[in-house]
């Protein structure tokens, strides 16, 4: 597996306590594979990488931090890995989130508050700590705005306490002021006739 660079801001926003020092081995899971590329789940962050032929969807990997400079981290497959299915469990300090998943619901441009075009991404994240999060992030020339909707309960309370950290991460990544709105998601209503 060729080394690949990861956006440190994205990784810190998703896993702020993840130790990213050179030589540290981290656990990851291959979520999807499409040809030579795949999607990895590393501490709840979804990253794309070029994968070797022997790595398949569902495999657990050990990645070593090769470089941590500025706003990027370079990761590579740890040498001497046992065959598939024989990889030891991840270390206790590397949180793995096998039940977490994210689905991109849409990406487009629509009007921002001042009538200019904004870039928008909407996704749904299913996580063990927060539950279902519907997240919409809009980026225009002056501002980045995020709206996170969660069901009432502990996940919503946790998200509200972490809104400031998300605002800071978005502002740093976008290079402009950020707004974060955390709201209660209405409960779905199933109607049968």
- Residues 4-77, CATH architecture: Beta Barrel (2.40)
Q: Quick one: the chain helix, strand, coil %, rounded to 5?
A: 15, 45, 40
Give residue for tokens 């502990």. 154
- The predicted-structure confidence for 108-126, as pLDDT tens digits, reads as follows 655 445 555 668 888 888 7
Of residues 85 and 49, which shows the higher confidence score? 49
**Per-residue pLDDT band at 177 (split at 50, 70, 90):** very high
8 A C-beta contact, residue 183 and residue 165: no
Whole-number Å distance between alpha carbons of 18 and 126: 20
Of residues 80 and 21, which shows the higher confidence score? 21
- Tokens for 181, please give them: 């709105």
- Tokens for 116, please give them: 């200019």
Region 50-76: what's the mean pLDDT?
82
The region of weakest confidence among 6-15, 34-43, 179-188 is: 6-15
Burial class (CB in 10 A: 0-12, 13-18, 19+), 164: exposed
- The predicted-structure confidence for 28-46, as pLDDT tens digits, reads as follows 898 998 888 888 888 777 8
Region 166-173: what's the mean pLDDT?
88
8 A C-beta contact, residue 119 and residue 148: no
Q: What is the mean pLDDT of the chain?
A: 75
Burial class (CB in 10 A: 0-12, 13-18, 19+), 153: exposed
- Tokens for 134, please give them: 């519907």
- Tokens for 49, please give them: 């990488």
Return the domain boundaries, the chain: 4-77, 101-184
- The predicted-structure confidence for 67-103, as pLDDT tens digits, reads as follows 877 777 788 888 654 444 434 444 444 444 445 565 6
């Amino acid at each position: 597996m060729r080394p690949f660079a990861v956006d440190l801001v994205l990784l810190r926003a998703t896993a702020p306590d993840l130790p990213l020092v050179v030589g540290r081995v981290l656990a990851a899971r291959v979520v999807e594979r499409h040809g030579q590329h795949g999607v990895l789940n590393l501490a709840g962050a979804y990253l794309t990488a070029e994968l070797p032929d022997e790595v398949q969807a569902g495999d657990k990997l050990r990645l070593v931090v090769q470089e941590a400079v500025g706003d990027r981290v370079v990761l590579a497959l740890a040498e001497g890995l046992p065959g598939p299915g024989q990889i030891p469990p991840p270390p206790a300090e590397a949180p793995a989130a096998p039940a977490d998943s994210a689905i991109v619901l849409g990406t487009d441009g629509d009007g921002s508050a001042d009538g200019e075009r904004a870039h928008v991404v909407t996704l749904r994240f299913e996580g063990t700590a927060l539950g279902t999060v519907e997240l919409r992030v809009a980026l225009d020339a002056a501002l980045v705005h995020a709206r996170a909707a969660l069901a009432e309960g502990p996940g919503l309370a946790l998200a509200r306490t972490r809104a400031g950290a998300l605002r800071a991460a978005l502002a740093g990544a976008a290079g402009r002021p950020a707004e974060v709105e955390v709201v209660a998601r209405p409960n779905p209503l199933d109607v049968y006739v």
